[in-house]
Amino acid sequence: MEIKNELSPLTMWKAIVTCDATYDTRFLYAVKTTGIFCRPSCKSRNPKFDNTVFFIVIEEAFGNGFRPCKRCRPDLLSEKYDPQADIVEQAVTIINMDYTQTIHLKDLAQRVGVSPFHLNRIFKSKIGCTPHMYLEKIRMEKAYQVGYGSLSSFYKNFRKRVNCSPKEHRAKVQ
Ligand SMILES: [Zn+2]
């Protein structure tokens, strides 16, 4: 469940507060309340930490439904048009919408128009993990967001809802 990111939330938060442009190519941040994402150096008002989400790649920000800030234009940081980025963004969007359902890699790949092998490979190169691992990460995050609070209650609820343990469920997703 490791997403490619060697920066800690605290480091990223400090970069945002100090508008540190040296971090502009290393991560992006989005504000849940506005739906906008920015470069760390953006001069707009600092968000509340609790409302801030960090993204390492722009595809993830787009895939989560955030729009680029008109002021700092984080979308201009990514070079030319990249068809792979487009595919990864679509896959992230689908996972974020359908994370409560069983998502087969085969179907996901078909929906974004590439082979499962290819999707795994480009997803890994952009996001740093496979679509399957990303799905697991999203499930965990959403579970925490709805306030299970602890892992054990999350697992209990998970079992109740899908009628199997997360481990068995994971096997189905593959
Ligand atoms: Zn901005």
Model confidence at 7, in pLDDT bands (50, 70, 90)?
Answer: confident
Q: What is the pLDDT of residue 126?
A: 87
Q: Measured at the alpha carbon of residue 107, what is the angle toward residues 160 and 118, in degrees to the nearest 5?
A: 125
Q: Please give the CATH architecture assigned to the domain spanning 83-173.
A: Orthogonal Bundle (1.10)
Q: What is the pLDDT of residue 57?
A: 86
CA 148 to chain centre: 20
Q: Say how far apart CA 72 and CA 43 lie, in whole Å.
A: 8
For residue 11, CA distances in Å to 15, 16, 68 come to 6, 9, 22
Long-range CB contact pairs, 102-106, < 8 A, 24+: 102/169, 102/172, 102/173, 103/131, 103/135, 103/173, 104/173, 104/174, 105/131, 105/132, 105/173, 105/174
Mean pLDDT of 120-126: 92
- Between 104 and 7, the more confident residue is 104
**Which of these is catalytic: 19, 38, 42, 129?**
38
Top-tier CATH class for 9-76: alpha beta
69 is a catalytic site residue: no
Quote the percentage of the chain above a pLDDT of 70. Answer: 78
pTM of the model: 0.54
Encode pLDDT of 130-140 as tens digits: 999 999 989 88
Q: Please give the distance, rounded to the nearest whole angstrom, from the Cα atom of residue 82 to the centre of ligand 1.
A: 22
Q: Please give the distance, rounded to the nearest whole angstrom, from the Cα atom of residue 29 to the centre of ligand 1.
A: 9
Domain range annotation of the chain: 9-76, 83-173
Encode pLDDT of 145-169 as tens digits: 666 555 556 566 555 554 444 455 4
Encode pLDDT of 40-65 as tens digits: 999 888 899 999 999 988 889 999 99
